[in-house]
Amino acid sequence: MLSVLSHYDGTSMRVIGTLSSLYPRRDEGWEYHMHRYSLLTRSQKVAIAGFLEALSKLVGLNFEDQKIVPRALRNYWGEYLPSNAKE
């Protein structure tokens, strides 16, 4: 995630891979993502949610990433934003 912030290039496989791994879709890959995310601590999930929330303010996202980031927040990470986090 730090690399995405430091050197954003929407055509880079580094960026595509990072954002794709944070964008769970309700399809055959859903369980795979949920298992991987279950290995993270609550603090890590909060950090990822904060990263996704701030990303569009910190870098100029390309068209596709402008869609992926809010969808990732909607599909999973949004519940970990400080304003939504449950103690």
pLDDT at 77: 97
CB-based contact 75:23 (threshold 8 Å): yes
Mean pLDDT of the chain: 93
| Predicted pLDDT at 32 | 92
**pLDDT tens sequence across 41-71:** 999 999 999 999 999 999 999 999 999 999 9
Residue 78 DSSP code: G
Task: Identify residue 72 by its one-letter amino acid code.
Answer: A
- Helices 13-21 & 63-75 angle (0-180, nearest 10): 20
CA distance 27 to 47: 25
CB of 10 within 8 A of CB of 44?
no
**pTM reported for the whole predicted model:** 0.89
Q: What mean pLDDT do residues 30-37 have? A: 94
Looking at the predicted structure, is the pLDDT value of residue 29 above 60?
yes
